[in-house]
Structure 1
Amino acid sequence: MTHSRLRLPPLNALKSFHAAVRHDSIRAAADELLVTPQAVSQQIKLLEDTLQVTLFNRKGRSIEKTEAAIILARFVDAGFEELAEGVRRVTNQKYHNRITINVSPYFATRYLLPRINHFREGMPDTDLRMTTMVDTPDFARDDIDVAVQWGYGDWKTYDTTLLLQDHKIITCTPDIAAQIQAPSDLLNHTLLHPVLHNSLWSDLLAFLDVGDQPPASEVAFHDAATMRRATLSGMGIGLVSELDAINDVRAGDLVAPLGLDALKDLPPRCVPGFYLVLPKGHRRVNIVAKLCEWITSENWAEVPN
């Protein structure tokens, strides 16, 4: 049985559309492609005629994306990304066995590094490289194949898999804890939180049925380790990851003033976690697929000794 294949529009028309969507401008797209604005307009008109849909509403010199353009743009962007990755892999020998992974610093030191040799033993010829940027990388610009990021799973354009929930415990020094008798007392102190997600404290305070009053002050930190050190120094009340918080409480360095289980029933949507994040097309590369398979098969809740 033969299957008819949909005839794709000309590549130049798709390139012009791709540039116009990203810039929201015909002129800016023309500048990027080193052609005239008229040439870009002609290519987009060709694409609209081929697809029999309107992609842009023209308003003088400006353009406005239609719903069809918004839908098509996601697939065109993914397609060009896959093409670029394929070309990169087959034309540059140094990339054949190289894989670069960006990992949240806390996940890297606490979970990944103690067991990365498990993966290396299975693929000894892989040139594995690691970066530890806190922010989600630009996969193309930063030359990243795979990432493990902290957050809430809202990377809409990427392939995303939850690896481990990052349950937090409200902690502080014994001196501060002595001043906290009820959840509302938290507002009298400086609240420490990660800069990546500033609604973390507000979610927790809402769960604890604390009113809408703002806290005395807030300080945001770029990474979990710095926030933990600030909590230990007595700067304020921190949201420390469960494993570290329990160790610090047992050592007597910190106290959980509302109890270790105060946030146990927090709704799942309010619980951050560590996620495997990558462009969908990257899984087509064999060594990337094998790394993803290993990462998702590991039981990250089991912390190595």
Structure 2
Amino acid sequence: MTDRPPRLPPLNALRVFQSVMQHRSFRAAADELHVSPQAVSLQIKGLEDALAVPLFARKGRGIDPTEQAILLAHFVNAGFSEIEEGIRRITRSQTRNRINVNASPYFATRHLLDRLARFRAILPDADLRLTTMVDLPDFARDDIDVAIQWGFGDWEPHDHSLLLRDLKVICCTPDIAARLHRPADLLAETLLHPILTDRLWSDILAHLGVTLTAQTQAIRFQDAATMRRATLAGLGVGLISSIDATEDLEAGRLVAPFGTDVMNTMPADRIPGFYLVLPRSHRRVRPIAAFCDWITAEDWTQDSHTLPGKE
């Protein structure tokens, strides 16, 4: 036999309780709610009876909240805040044109910013707001409509669409490359990892016939740009996105000791990428749907810095 969830008390009683906790006074709560102090007292008594828990100790004309009341107030306040936010959003959504986008910092600077004018030409009245954060946001808490996230496509139950595979190149300075004669030699070097995943290096090494060991030194980085700088500084062997790697290899700043196409023959589910991620319900909002249609139709394999008009 399973326990039944507790029956929720009347919403009005919780609203009265919230006001009493805020003012620490039945009379002040009554003034705020435009009712009599007796009505407030009856609501609190009914709430205590429904919960079978004392909420206030009466001391003459004063009251002191019990430990249970202090705990309950935390959740009641959070609950009413969520309700208020939900009402704000649905009333705003009738005429809203704002689109809150959170993008991987690398994707935003390397690919997205140079193309946003294209979307603005499609929906010129859109109030587009862009933030950059490495981790997947909490869509409700962070007030984010859509996210562009780096990873392997495992974001159920959210809707997600692959925009661009992020093929990496094993890169290092010429001094380090001189010590790397076969893939197993990588285990003696410091490997630079993206902080979002521990599997990338192990998958690549396994593809090369090498097993990553716990003894291998590692440094983890929050974003791709920092990892690239660390690789250029000679802190270890990095996994550099192919566009960036091409620039550094051609300039002679870095070396690809095992070639530039190591990841090209790996299984698709082992190759990370940039994905459009959002709750399915968000597509019902017209401006958000327009943004999703635009961004999934773009060819992100083309370097944004070589687009027409980008000299």
The answer as to whether partners of 1:99 and 1:145 remain within 8 angstroms in 2 is yes
Identity of aligned residues (%): 55
Partners of 2:135 and 2:179 in 1: how far apart? Answer: 35
How much has 1:92 moved relative to structure 2?
3.2
C-alpha distance 293-179 of structure 1, shift in aligned 2 (>3 A): same
Deviations 1:112-167 (A, max 9, x none): 00110000111111110000010000000000001100000000110010000000
Partners of 2:270 and 2:163 in 1: how far apart? Answer: 16
Partners of 2:4 and 2:95 in 1: how far apart? Answer: 35
The 5 A counterparts of 1:1-305 are 87-92=87-92, 96-304=96-304, 305=306
Partners of 2:135 and 2:123 in 1: how far apart? Answer: 28
Partners of 2:204 and 2:215 in 1: how far apart? Answer: 13
Partners of 2:265 and 2:101 in 1: how far apart? Answer: 33
Partners of 1:194 and 1:301 in 2: how far apart? Answer: 21
Larger Rg: 2
Partners of 2:171 and 2:300 in 1: how far apart? Answer: 24
Partners of 2:147 and 2:93 in 1: how far apart? Answer: 23
The answer as to whether partners of 1:104 and 1:132 remain within 8 angstroms in 2 is yes
For these two proteins, the number of residue pairs brought into alignment is 237
How much has 1:89 moved relative to structure 2?
4.0
TM-score (norm 2): 0.71
Amino acid at match of 1:186: L
Deviations 1:169-199 (A, max 9, x none): 0000000000000000000000001000111
Deviates more, 1:131-140 or 1:210-219: 210-219
Partners of 2:103 and 2:4 in 1: how far apart? Answer: 35
Amino acid at match of 2:116: I
Partners of 2:285 and 2:121 in 1: how far apart? Answer: 19
Stretches of 4+ moved more than 6 A in 1? Answer: 35-39, 83-86
How much has 1:30 moved relative to structure 2?
6.4
The answer as to whether partners of 1:89 and 1:96 remain within 8 angstroms in 2 is no
C-alpha distance 185-126 of structure 1, shift in aligned 2 (>3 A): same
How much has 1:263 moved relative to structure 2?
2.5
RMSD: 2.7
Aligned to 1:277, what secondary structure does the other structure show?
Answer: strand
The match for 1:69 is: none
The answer as to whether partners of 1:187 and 1:214 remain within 8 angstroms in 2 is no
The answer as to whether partners of 1:100 and 1:144 remain within 8 angstroms in 2 is yes
The answer as to whether partners of 1:88 and 1:95 remain within 8 angstroms in 2 is no
The answer as to whether partners of 2:177 and 2:257 remain within 8 angstroms in 1 is yes
Amino acid at match of 2:283: R
Amino acid at match of 2:137: P
Which sections of structure 1, spanning at least 5 residues, go unmatched?
Answer: 1-23, 40-82
Partners of 2:119 and 2:126 in 1: how far apart? Answer: 9
Aligned to 2:263, what secondary structure does the other structure show?
Answer: coil
Deviations 1:73-124 (A, max 9, x none): xxxxxxxxxx999844442389711110000000000110011000011111
Deviations 1:30-81 (A, max 9, x none): 69x8578978xxxxxxxxxxxxxxxxxxxxxxxxxxxxxxxxxxxxxxxxxx
The answer as to whether partners of 1:151 and 1:275 remain within 8 angstroms in 2 is yes
C-alpha distance 212-287 of structure 1, shift in aligned 2 (>3 A): closer
Partners of 2:243 and 2:228 in 1: how far apart? Answer: 12
The answer as to whether partners of 1:192 and 1:238 remain within 8 angstroms in 2 is yes
C-alpha distance 212-124 of structure 1, shift in aligned 2 (>3 A): closer
Amino acid at match of 1:202: S
Which sections of structure 2, spanning at least 5 residues, go unmatched?
Answer: 15-46, 52-82, 307-311
How much has 1:264 moved relative to structure 2?
2.0
How much has 1:262 moved relative to structure 2?
2.4
Partners of 2:212 and 2:170 in 1: how far apart? Answer: 19
How much has 1:302 moved relative to structure 2?
1.0
Amino acid at match of 2:280: K
The answer as to whether partners of 2:187 and 2:212 remain within 8 angstroms in 1 is no
Aligned to 1:92, what secondary structure does the other structure show?
Answer: helix
The answer as to whether partners of 2:101 and 2:146 remain within 8 angstroms in 1 is yes
